[in-house]
Amino acid sequence: MNSIPYGRQHITDDDIAAVNAVLRSSHLTQGPKIGELEEAFARYVGATYAVAVANGTAALHLCCMALNVGPGTRVITTPITFSASANCVRYCGGEVHFADIDPDNVLLDPKAVRSLLESHPKGYFSGIIPVDFAGYPVDMAAFRELADEFGLWIIEDSCHAPGATFVDKNGVTHRCGDGSLAELAIFSFHPVKHIAAGEGGMITTNDKELYHHLLRLRTHGITNKPEELTQPYPDEPERGGWYMELQELGYNYRLTDIQAALALSQMNRVDAMLDRRRELAARYDAAFSEAATSGLPIQIIVPPAGIGHAYHLYVIQTPDRKGLYDSLRTKNIFAQVHYIPVHLMPYYRQFGWKPGDFPHAEHYYAQGLSLPLFPTLTDDEQNYVINQVLGFLHVKSFINPN
């Protein structure tokens, strides 16, 4: 059996042709494909506006800048995420605070966030960054209620969840990033994500002012739009078509037309790839639910009705995670761990975080393992993965029957 990674991009002849067309055009950086991608992506998730940027981390950073995060700003996020979900606050000089996860779904727990909010004076915190971990959409309606009650903004980190859906208490179905419950949402176009552009990211919002602010911030804080210019005309008596203003300190966080063309081509089959992810997850569910019922040491997360999981990752939990990880590697199966809790990273420990602060997150980390899941994973390859996992668990169960 060839090596099987936990994730893999899927590049077709159509993707290559789309990129080649841009390479033969007159635009390589900010050309027409950027706007086409932004329009297509906003339409896909149901948001009013979309802003394409260099990567998901850049998207988070720009969101924090647009929301005026700075020294004295305190933001709550989950310890189970890639560090960028917290780092973006630090880039702006803000303070990161963590709350524990719900062990039933590994998502930031609204109850834990409420407890944290109620333990401090109102106004102490400014915002929340919940994360749609593994593709499981967070309870955005619950976070919106908290945000409204405590005067907070929300950035939804949806890097794992394009196409994911949930139903609110009024029976309304929402797509992650549709702008109805969060001020801003962000996505990633990293190769192992649902839409691969090499690198790349997207911000979605329904707020026109934030949208225009983000457009400036991704391009150094510069604008040349007549309606946005602020310099009095007499200061520039010969103002011409070259005129532009650096209005604030921004960054070069632009996406290229090359990347946009690849992402656009991938969007032509994004639903088919999402369907395949869900099909593979259902096959894993069937195998491992039966194993758990028979007493094998494995736990999986099966979302309830009303949750449209996007399955960026398929995560199992087992007590001997390290043993299983090592065993699979000897079989050419390269599972991965997502994630080491952010509060346990050396950088964040300097702020006083320590083991034991978030027991649910730390318990999950000790047992969580992401198995191979990507649209081109074949049934035979998946059967091989399942058999190797179950074979290891059977042996462990025989050795340690209790």
HEC-encoded secondary structure of the chain: CCCEECCCCCCCHHHHHHHHHHHCCCCCCCCHHHHHHHHHHHHHHCCCEEEEECCHHHHHHHHHHHCCCCCCCEEEECCCCCCHHHHHHHHCCCEEEECCEECCCCEECHHHHHHHHHCCCCCCCCEEECECHHHCCCCHHHHHHHHHHHCCEEEEECCCCCCCEEECCCCCEEECCCCCCCCEEEEECCCCCCCCCCCCEEEEECCHHHHHHHHHHCECCEECCHHHCCCCHHHCCCCCCCCCEECCCCCECCCCHHHHHHHHHHHCCHHHHHHHHHHHHHHHHHHHHHHHHCCCCCEECCCCCCEECCCCCEEEECCCHHHHHHHHHHCCEECECCCCCHHHCHHHHCCCCCCCCCHHHHHHHHHEEEECCCCCCCHHHHHHHHHHHHHHHHHHHHHCCC
Nearby residues of 192 by Cβ (< 8 Å), 6 or more positions away: 6, 7, 8, 9, 312, 374
Cβ contact 268:125 at 8 Å: no
**Cα 59 to Cα 170: distance, rounded to the nearest angstrom:** 31
The residue whose two tokens read 């995420």 is: 81
Q: Judge whether 193 counts as a catalytic residue.
A: yes
Kindly state the tokens that stand for 238.
């010969």
Catalytic residue among 33, 122, 169, 193: 193
The residues carrying an active-site annotation are: 193
